[in-house]
Amino acid sequence: MPVFSITKAHIDALTKNARSVYLTALTDADRVLDGIASADGEAIPIGINATPLRAAHFMAQILHETDGLSIRIESMNYSAERLTVVFPKRFPTLAAAAPYAHSPAKLAERTYGGRMGNGPEGSGDGWKYIGRGMLQITGRESYEKYGAQLGIDLAGDPDLAFSAEWSLRIAAAEWAAGRRNGRTCNQMADDDDIVGITKVINGGTIGLSSRQEWLRRAKNAFAI
């Protein structure tokens, strides 16, 4: 049973830029963060709101990924200089980055094509399945996986990922599925291991300092 509730007052203390769809989704936080129903009607335990610390870690990741609950869909509009920072392995030099600067669809195809269940570069999958929603679900494989799990056509309608009805459920399902070195996201949250959680959510540690700052603020808001 949930023992900690994320309230509108908590959200207001954390961010003033929350989109209405996310605020609406979070009104159902008590039920969703305790557990969600799968497509076959079976309960999927989530347990994020079992402790304030788990809730703080979950919210820290969401607040970073959505820039304070303001981002619904990943921006792929970068300058060449920024591309060398965000995607250094793919664009090690300005010359390599220049053809993709301020070309969102072209960049998405180059960056995500042939990965994460997407078809090859040029197939359209890289652009169709860019990051969306509270934890910025990315790649056809994830859209299909969580769509099947929740019983929705997420791959066919990717914008469901930032809808009021499904955004929190999808994020909760992603959190529940995350593992690193045999530990779940909840277990890492219990250990206050933001680095481990970030590696699950991000695949690396991009934005770690921002995530740490959001965690500090969430702990303060939740009186931890």
pLDDT tens digit sequence for 101-139: 999 999 999 999 999 999 999 999 999 999 999 999 999
- Mean pLDDT for 166-171 is 98
At 195-212, the pLDDT tens digits run: 999 999 999 998 999 999
Residue owning tokens 């049973």 = 1
Q: Alpha-carbon distance 137 to 145, whole Å?
A: 11
Beta strand 35-37 with 179-180 is unpaired
Q: Is the pLDDT of residue 56 over 90?
A: yes
Q: What pairs with residue 153 in β-bridges? A: none
> pLDDT digits over 75-98, tens only?
999 999 999 998 899 999 999 999
**Percent of the chain topping pLDDT 90:** 94
Instruction: Give me the mean pLDDT over the 152-173 stretch.
Output: 98
| pLDDT tens digit sequence for 60-75 | 999 999 999 999 999 9
What is the C-alpha separation between 59 and 165, in angstroms, rounded? 18
Question: Exposed, middle or buried: residue 193 (CB in 10 Å: 0-12, 13-18, 19+)?
Answer: middle
**Mean pLDDT rounded to a whole number for the chain:** 96
What is the model's pLDDT at position 111?
Answer: 94
CATH 1.10.375.10 corresponds to the domain 8-72+163-221: no
Segments making up each domain of the chain, as ranges: 8-72+163-221, 80-128
Please check the confidence at residue 219 and state whether its pLDDT lies above 70.
yes
Residue 36: in which H helix or E strand, if any?
strand 35-37
CA triple 139-36-197, angle to 5 deg: 55
Model confidence at 43: pLDDT above 90: no
Q: Which of 46, 57, 51, 52 lies closest to 168, judged by CA? A: 46
Q: Would you say residue 1 has pLDDT above 60?
A: no
Query: Which pLDDT band holds residue 2 (cuts at 50, 70, 90)?
Result: low
Percent of the chain with pLDDT over 70: 99
pLDDT exceeds 60 at position 220: yes
Q: Which helix (H) or strand (E) holds 183?
A: strand 183-184
